[in-house]
Amino acid sequence: MFKDQTVAVTGASGGIGRAIAEMFVANGAKVAICDLELPMETATEIGASAYGFDASNEAQVKSAITAIEEDFGPIDIYVSNAGVGSGNGPHVAGGSNESWELAWQVNVMASVYAARALMPSWIERGSGRFVITASAAGLLNQIGSASYSATKHAAVSFAESIQIEHAQHGIRAHCICPQYVRTNMTKGFDMAENSKDGFLEPSDVAEALKASIEADKFLVLSHPVVADYFAHRATKHDDYLAGMGKLRQKMAGETLPTSK
Ligand SMILES: NC(=O)c1ccc[n+]([C@@H]2O[C@H](COP(=O)([O-])OP(=O)(O)OC[C@H]3O[C@@H](n4cnc5c(N)ncnc54)[C@H](O)[C@@H]3O)[C@@H](O)[C@H]2O)c1
Looking from the CA of 185 toward its CB, the CA atoms found within 13 Å total 24
Q: What is the pLDDT of residue 122?
A: 98
The model's pLDDT over 15-38, given as tens digits with 9 standing for 90+, comes to 999 999 999 999 999 999 999 999
The model's pLDDT over 61-103, given as tens digits with 9 standing for 90+, comes to 999 999 999 999 999 999 999 999 999 999 999 999 999 999 9
Q: What is the largest CA-CA distance in the chain?
A: 66
Residue 33 lies in a domain: yes
Q: What is the pLDDT of residue 229?
A: 98
pLDDT band at 254; cut points 50, 70, 90: low
The model's pLDDT over 116-132, given as tens digits with 9 standing for 90+, comes to 999 999 999 999 999 99
For residue 67, give the amino acid letter. A
Residue 216 lies in a domain: yes
80 in Cβ contact with 37 (< 8 Å): no
Question: What string of DSSP letters covers 75-92?
Answer: -SEEEE--------TTST
pLDDT band at 198; cut points 50, 70, 90: confident
For the chain, what is the domain count? 1
128 in Cβ contact with 118 (< 8 Å): yes
Residue 181 lies in a domain: yes
CA dist 50 to 12, 41, 163, 220, Å?
9, 9, 29, 26
Tell me how far apart the alpha carbons of residues 10 and 27 are, in angstroms, rounded to a whole number: 18
147 in Cβ contact with 97 (< 8 Å): no
Domain extent at residue 113: 6-225
Tell me how far apart the alpha carbons of residues 158 and 165 are, in angstroms, rounded to a whole number: 10
Q: What is the pLDDT of residue 255?
A: 53
For ligand 1, residues with CB inside 6 Å are 10-11, 13-17, 35-36, 54-56, 81-85, 106, 133, 135, 178, 180-181, 183-186
Q: What is the pLDDT of residue 26?
A: 98
- 3 state SS of 200: strand
93 in Cβ contact with 74 (< 8 Å): no
Query: For a pocket test of ligand 1, which of 9, 10, 13, 16 has the largest count of ligand atoms closer than 8 A to its C-beta?
Result: 16
What are φ and ψ of residue 57, in 5° steps? -115, 110
pLDDT band at 188; cut points 50, 70, 90: confident
Which atom from ligand 1 is nearest to the alpha carbon of 57?
A: 31
- pLDDT surpassing 80 at residue 107: yes
Residue 200 lies in a domain: yes
For the domain that residue 92 is a member of, what is the CATH number?
3.40.50.720
- pLDDT surpassing 90 at residue 190: no
Mean pLDDT estimate for the chain: 95
- pLDDT surpassing 80 at residue 42: yes
Query: For a pocket test of ligand 1, which of 185, 187, 197 has the largest count of ligand atoms closer than 8 A to its C-beta?
Result: 185
Residue 178 lies in a domain: yes
Q: How far is the CA of 83 from the centre of ligand 1 (A)?
A: 4
Q: What is the pLDDT of residue 230?
A: 98
Residue 1 lies in a domain: no
Q: What is the pLDDT of residue 258?
A: 43
Which atom from ligand 1 is nearest to the alpha carbon of 200?
A: 3
Q: How far is the CA of 81 from the centre of ligand 1 (A)?
A: 6
Q: How many CB atoms lie within 10 A of CB 117?
A: 19
Residue 174 lies in a domain: yes
CA-nearest residue for atom 42, ligand 1, is: 83
Lowest mean pLDDT among 39-48, 187-196, 210-219, 220-229: 187-196
Q: What is the pLDDT of residue 257?
A: 46
Nearest to 103 by CA among 117, 118, 90, 88: 88
Q: How far is the CA of 216 from the centre of ligand 1 (A)?
A: 24
Beta bridge partners of 220: 176
pLDDT band at 259; cut points 50, 70, 90: very low
Q: How far is the CA of 235 from the centre of ligand 1 (A)?
A: 31
- pLDDT surpassing 50 at residue 211: yes
Residue 64 lies in a domain: yes
